[in-house]
Amino acid sequence: MNRIIKLVIFFSIFPFLFYAQDKLNVSDENGLRQGKWKILNEGIECTLIYKDNERNGECKCFYQDGSLLTTGRFLKDSLEGKHLELYKNGQIYKEDNYSNGILDGEQKVFNQNEEIIYFANYHLGVLDGIEKLYYKSGKLKVETFYENGRVKKVTCYRRNGKVKKIKNY
């Protein structure tokens, strides 16, 4: 009798559990992608949200072992806001900021010791402000100042931190 009651309860709940699952990779009657999609490309799996065939919402991509590779957001099919790329161990490799799919703001690249190895500032996709490249030791190697995409000044440093060369443009 207990077994029959358990089976009745299971089969009465099971349809709700089944239908509560998110449907994946759905296109509407017009062939437009809608909702949550999982896409596999060369071993990288990405989950994206679509609205009327445009990426809209959170996007995450994963290495083959399931660890997070990238995370970001789309708005009307363009990257928007902070976008991260990670090493397999979960540490940040690169951090970018986007506006309407265009680099806008700081871009940072880190080594596996979590030390910054590259820094740049973008304004609407164009280098604007400081760009820095670092030695493996963490010391500054080259500092370039941009104004609306044009190099204005470059300062090169020796490994000991002393200025090697300055060039104004």
Q: Which domains does the chain have, with CATH numbers?
A: 2-168 (3.90.930)
Which region among 5-9, 72-76, 124-128, 165-169 has the lowest average model confidence (pLDDT)? 5-9
pLDDT of residue 22: 61
The answer to whether the beta carbons of residues 156 and 141 sit under 8 Å apart is: yes
More confident residue, 9 or 65: 65
More confident residue, 22 or 118: 118
| Confidence check: pLDDT of 12 > 60 | no
pLDDT of residue 104: 97
| Confidence check: pLDDT of 141 > 90 | yes
pLDDT of residue 4: 45
* Helices (H), ranges, the chain: 2-20
At 69-104, the pLDDT tens digits run 999 999 999 999 999 999 999 999 999 999 999 999
* Nearest of 73, 40, 72, 37 to residue 53 by alpha carbon: 37
pLDDT confidence of 137, banded at 50, 70, 90? confident
More confident residue, 128 or 6: 128
* Nearest of 40, 36, 92, 25 to residue 59 by alpha carbon: 36
Query: pLDDT > 90: what percent of the chain?
Result: 82
Q: How far apart are CA 59 and CA 80, in angstroms?
A: 11
Model pTM?
Answer: 0.81
